[in-house]
A and B are shown apart, each in its own frame.
Chain A
Amino acid sequence: MTEALRLLVSLDPELWGIVLLSLGVSGTAVLLSALLGVPAGAALALWEVPGAAWVARFTYTLMGLPPILAGLVVFLVLSARGPLGHLQLLFTPTAMVLAQTLLVLPIVTGLTLAGVRSKDRAIRELALSLGATQWQAAWRVVLEARRAIGAALMAGFGRAIAEVGAVMLVGGNVRGHTRVMTTAILLETRQGNFEVAIGLGLVLLAVAFAVNAAFYRWQEGA
C-alpha cells in the first residue's frame, strides 16, 4: 500500500499510464454506449414497434451479462479465424473498448428505456396537447428523463471500470499497452505483491469516486 502510494505521489509514469488507459477504455465504451444506447432505449420506450417487448426483455437479460462472456464473444470475433480477424485488433485497447461496450450498452439501453418509459405517457400527451410535433414530444420525454439517463451512464461506467474478465481476455494485460487497473491488480495479487494490489485498488476506488462526484456536480446544475 505504501508502495502504491509512493508510486502515485512520485507520478510514476507506468502507474499513471495504467490509470489513464483504464479511464480511456471505459470512458470510450461509455461514450459509444451512450451514442447507441440512449437513442435505442428511448426508441424502445416511445414507439410501439412489433417485437419491442422482446427486445426490451433481451436487453434486460444482457444487463447481467458476465464480463468473461462479453470478452469471449469479442475474442472469437476478433481472433485470427474470426469474421474480423483480418483487422488484427485482438490484444489492443480497441478490442477492450469493444468488449466493454458490449457490457455497458445493455445497461445504458435498459436503464434509459426504463427511465423514459416512466415519463412517457403524461409528458408526451402534455407536449402534444400544447402543439408539439411527434418528434418534439418525444424529445421532451427524453429531456425529462435526463437524470435517469445520466444515472444509466454512471452505472455503465461503474461496471466498465470495475470489470476484469473482458479486458483480460481480449486485452491480454500487456504491460504498457493493454494493462488497466483491474488487470494490474490481478497480476500483482498473483505475484504476491499485496501492498501494491491494495494500493491499486484504492486508486481504482478514488478514480471511480472522482468521476461520480464530477458527474453529480454536473447533474445538480443541469
Chain B
Amino acid sequence: MPAPAFRLEGLVKSYGGRRVLDLESLEVDAGSVWAIVGPSGAGKTTLLRLLNGLEKPDAGRIWFFGQELTAANGLPALEVRRRMTMVFQTPVLFTATVAENVAYGLRVRGVDQGSVARRVARALDLVGLAGTERRGARSLSAGEAQRVSLARALVVEPEVLLLDEPTANLDPANAAIIESLLRRASGEMGVTVVLVTHNLFQARRVADHTGFLLDGRLVETGPTREFFERPADPRTRAFIRGEMVF
C-alpha cells in the first residue's frame, strides 16, 4: 500500500491556552477527495494550516506521504512544501496583475518564461477567467479573486491541494465549474484534495470521504455516502439536518 498523503496522530493545537484542535488520528489516502465540514470556529482552517506546515502542532505528529512533516524546527523542507499548496479562506492577492499572481508559484520554482505564460493562460481558462491576464488584481470581484487564487494554486500542479471554502463567494454556475475541476484533478491527475466547506451539498457532490469537525474534534469520518446517509453519531445527524449542535 502506498503511504497516505496525510497521516495524523494525537494532533493538538492551542491558542492562548485554549485547545482549538485535538485529533486522535486521521488518514487521507493519496488521490482521494476529503471534505471537512463543521460549524464556524470548529478548527477547520487551523487543521488546514497544520497540514500545510504554516502552523506547528503543540503535540502530535503529521506524516506527509510517509515523511514526517513537523520534524524540523520551523517550516517543512522546501521540496516537501512544493508538493502541496493551499487556497486560503479569504483570498489574498498580490498587488500585481492577474497573470503575475497566477505565475508566482511557477516563478519561484524557476520555470522558464515561455511555459509560464502558456500555463497561466491555461489555468485561467480552467477557472473561467480566460483573457484576464493583464487586469489588476485589485479590480477583481470577490468571486473573480477566489477563482484567481484557485488558478494560482492549480497552475503548479500540486500533488495535494488544500482548499478552505473555495466557492464561498461564487454563484452556483461558477461553483459547479470549480467542483468539476476538482473532481477531474483528482480523477485524472491523482491530486489529493482536502476541502473545507460549509456547503454540505458540495461535500456530497465532490468528496469521497467526509469528516465532521466539532469543537476541534473529529466527531465522525467516513465514506461520503455513508456519512450522509447513515451517520453514526447523533451530533453528525443533527448537523446534517441543520439543527444546532453547539
Contact = CB atoms under 8 A, between A and B. Distances in A.
Interface string B75-113: 100100110011010001011000000001100110000
A131 B75 contact: no
A129 B95 contact: no
A163 interface: no
Contact of B108 (A122, A123, A136, A143): A136
Given A131-B105, A132-B108, A126 B153 contact: no
B86 A144 contact: no
A214 interface: no
A140 B156 contact: no
A132 B156 CA distance: 12
B56 interface: no
Select the residue from A122, A125, A130, A134 with max chain B CB neighbours within 10 A.
A130
Given A130-B152, A131-B156, A122 B78 contact: no
Interface residues of B, number: 19
B169 to A, nearest CB: 17
Contacts of B152: 130
Interface string A115-146: 00000001101111111111010001001100
A140 B104 CA distance: 10
A125 B162 CA distance: 14
A130 B105 contact: yes
Contacts of A131: 78, 81-82, 85, 105, 108-109, 156
A134 B54 CA distance: 12
Given A140-B94, A144-B95, A129 B85 contact: yes
Contacts of A125: 54, 88
A126 B95 CA distance: 13
Nearest to A131: B82
A130 B109 CA distance: 9
Chain A contact residues (Cβ within 8 angstroms of B): what range? 10 to 19
A144 B75 CA distance: 22
B192 interface: no
A169 B54 CA distance: 52
Contact of A130 (B75, B85, B95): B85
Contacts of A129: 52, 54, 81, 85-86, 88
Interface of B: 52, 54, 75, 78, 81-82, 85-86, 88, 92, 94-95, 104-105, 108-109, 152-153, 156
Interface of A: 122-123, 125-134, 136, 140, 143-144
14 contacts: A127-B104, A128-B54, A129-B52, A129-B86, A130-B85, A130-B152, A130-B153, A131-B82, A131-B109, A133-B78, A133-B108, A134-B75, A143-B94, A144-B95
5 A-B pairs with the lowest CB-CB distances in the bound complex, closest first: A130-B105, A131-B82, A132-B108, A129-B86, A126-B92
